[in-house]
Chains A and B, each alone.
Chain A
Amino acid sequence: MAHVSVRDLEVKFGALRVLQHLNLDVGKGEFLVLLGSSGCGKSTLLNAIAGLLEISAGQIYIAGDNVTWKEPAERHIGMVFQSYALYPRMTVEGNMSFGLRTQGAPADEIQKRVASAAELLHLEPLLKRKPSELSGGQRQRVAIGRALCRDAEVYLFDEPLSNLDAKLRAELRVELKKLHIRLGSTMIYVTHDQVEAMTLADRIAIMNAGVIQQLAPPAEVYGKPKNLFVAGFIGSPSMNMIEGSVAKGSNGPEFRTANGTVPLARYPFIAPPQEGAAILGVRPEHIEIGQTQPGQGGGSGQVVVVEAMGPETIVYTRFGDTPLTIRAEGDLSVKIDDSISYAFDVAKASLFGKASGERL
């Protein structure tokens, strides 16, 4: 049975329906990431689960309890905010224990919980300090510590690393992963950063315009995106998109474009292939520079830009009129205006119907 469930959720801001008919199940101990750009509804969903906003329809279950009408404090949640939201006039210790003190928990219990959270997050030397004396990274760890002291069923994170600089973000990301492994608690995490999503998540829920586009483990979201939106959102540099149509050729289904034909025999169709306009998506690392092998599709073009990054090289070229990005390992002796040939790895590609945007 799912640890956290959302059933048929609808949230309105005035007349605007931000979330509609939203269903989600989170397993116990799972690290679920809600990923999307601003305005997609991910924070709204998180706040609805937390009980911080009014919902207009639907139900929310946490650990088997129907918590739809319960106050946030009664939902057994802990929450970490983007702006840390630490109480500025209290010490770190005070911040972490305030909730428990208000509820009248016994002093030794409070002591125990604060100590264990502090140990988990390396906060012991900071316990007597005030938030204004801490760095951004330290403050965020205190915010996490405060959530941990609540001994909740599920921990909610609302873009906690967005206010930190890149280096700190990378450090805290690793710490969060280690924390999850150590605690084994259910965590729901909102972010707009793909890297955070890909590295932290057990499953990712990519959202757009209030709808979950795909809910799957990172590898699947990356390798088998369900629709054009997901394909374009995940991956940097982004997936190459080539227009054309699916047709039945002499050797099986093939993808016909103005600049050549790509055989689709190796492509893992979900359903039997239908003819029609389509878009072929190939990730830059799934294109190989060199002569096309039989059974592969490919093409040739002139090199427009070369970016030598060190461990890899990014080559910008064209497939007919369509710009193409190729990612190759190591150093290449390719220069601007060189003519190169390349081949697509169709088995790892993604094919989408042009009208529906869905994966074929």
Chain B
Amino acid sequence: MTDMSVKSSDYAVTRPRPKIFRNLSSKFAAIPMMFVALVVFVGCTLWSLMFSFTNAVSLPPAVHLFPPDFSAYVSHFIGFRGYEQLFAQDKWSVSVHNIFAYGICALTGEFLLGFLLAVFIDQKIRFEDGFRTIFLYPFALSGIVTGLVWEWMLNPAFGLEKSMHDLGLTWFSFDWVANRDMVIYAVAIAGVWQGTGLVMALMLAGLRGIDDDIWKASRVDGIPKWRTYLFIVIPMMRPVFITSLVLVAANIVRTFDIVVAMTGGGPGYQSYLPANYVYEKLSTALGQSLAASATMMVFVIIIVAPWAFYEFGRKRT
């Protein structure tokens, strides 16, 4: 009977391909991704962080803002003193105050209005497409366009106030754009105008994802519609709410264009947002600018990190 067992001398001697050559095409195709992820996102962020601890300033000091001047600079390491100097700047504290004021107003306004509009549109109304198109079109506009539009609308000499006066209501006054304390809220009106459509679309998608049978069950149970929304549907939409909140908030921190177009940062610098501050200082006080942008990054981390841990930490396979 033949011996069917395998002898060690039967194995052909071949060297396995080194791991790096496996899946070569995919790695090759992913080179841009590697570049972007490692060089740009990781590398540039670290660079910015490093230089935020210096007092880098460009030489000679820049004259123009658009575009900013990125010519040679001198820098000395000064550690956290740079951040201290930053926080001592009135312009910066105004920016920070503004981002909170703007952020809270914009978030509240967009979510309240967005959710309400989504609920109403979900009521099997006619012209659903029409209404949706109307509420969402500002999202297709540039921040510059949005800023300009609302600069005119809220301009006392031209916009709302003037037309109220023309109608005979001469007591009406709306000069928020010129008012030091209220200008940021005027910007918020523009921000809500642009951003509500997105929130509405997200909420509507979430509402439509609710199982039809839940509505039937609550009808059979005799639960009025508003209670169904409040006690059953909204709790079921919690993931959608949280995700949307995080995304919209992270985006709000970046607001820049609207301010540039609507108020130029003014009056004075009263409508500055952190992004505007960073931009202005890029040419003149680079170190401080980088410190400011690093602080902005911290804001974003505070918003995003808890959500990311919650979302990805506990249930990802």
Contact = CB atoms under 8 A, between A and B. Distances in A.
Nearest to B219: A72
Given A52-B216, A85-B216, A98 B223 contact: yes
Interface residues of B, number: 17
Contacts of A87: 214, 217-218, 232
Interface in B197-223: 211, 213-214, 216-223
User: In this complex, which of B211, B227, B236 has the most chain A Cβ atoms within 10 angstroms of its Cβ?
Assistant: B211
B223 A102 contact: yes
Contacts, number: 64
A89 B222 contact: no
B214 A72 contact: no
Contacts of B227: 102
Contact of B220 (A72, A82, A88): A72
A189 to B, nearest CB: 16
Contacts of A50: 216, 220
User: In this complex, which of B218, B224, B235 has the most chain A Cβ atoms within 10 angstroms of its Cβ?
Assistant: B218
Chain A contact residues (Cβ within 8 angstroms of B): what range? 20 to 34
Nearest to B213: A85
A327 B243 CA distance: 60
Contact of B219 (A73, A78, A83, A88): A73
User: In this complex, which of A51, A77, A89, A98 has the most chain B Cβ atoms within 10 angstroms of its Cβ?
Assistant: A98
B-side interface mostly: helix
A50 B217 CA distance: 11
A73 B220 contact: yes
A359 interface: no
A82 B212 CA distance: 11
Interface string A290-324: 00000000000000000000000000000000000
Nearest to B214: A85
A293 B63 CA distance: 115
A50 B216 CA distance: 10
B220 A77 contact: yes
A81 B216 contact: yes
Nearest to B234: A89
A150 B222 CA distance: 10
A337 interface: no
A52 B219 contact: yes
Contacts of B218: 87
Contact of A85 (B217, B223, B235): B217
A81 B224 contact: no
A84 B213 CA distance: 8
Interface string A35-60: 00000000000010011100000000
A88 B213 CA distance: 12
A268 interface: no
Given A88-B236, A89-B236, A73 B216 contact: no
A102 B214 contact: no
Contacts of A85: 211, 213-214, 216-217
Interface string B171-199: 00000000000000000000000000000
B216 to A, nearest CB: 5
User: In this complex, which of B216, B223, B224, B232 has the most chain A Cβ atoms within 10 angstroms of its Cβ?
Assistant: B216
A98 B221 contact: yes
A71 interface: yes
A146 B221 CA distance: 9
B221 to A, nearest CB: 3
User: In this complex, which of B219, B220, B222 has the most chain A Cβ atoms within 10 angstroms of its Cβ?
Assistant: B220
A77 to B, nearest CB: 6
Interface in A115-129: none
B220 A83 contact: no
A81 B222 contact: no
A150 B221 contact: yes
Contacts of B217: 79, 81, 85-87, 146
Interface in B81-121: none
Contacts of B213: 81-85
B211 A102 contact: no
A147 B216 CA distance: 12
B221 A102 contact: yes
Interface of A: 47, 50-52, 71-74, 77-79, 81-89, 98-99, 102-103, 146-147, 150
Given A71-B222, A85-B217, A87-B214, 10 more contacts: A52-B216, A82-B213, A85-B211, A85-B213, A98-B223, A99-B222, A102-B224, A146-B221, A150-B220, A150-B221
7 contacts: A81-B216, A83-B211, A85-B213, A86-B217, A102-B223, A146-B221, A150-B221
Interface of B: 211, 213-214, 216-224, 227, 231-232, 235-236
- Give the 4 A-B residue pairs with the shortest CB-CB distance, closest first: A73-B222, A99-B221, A85-B213, A89-B235
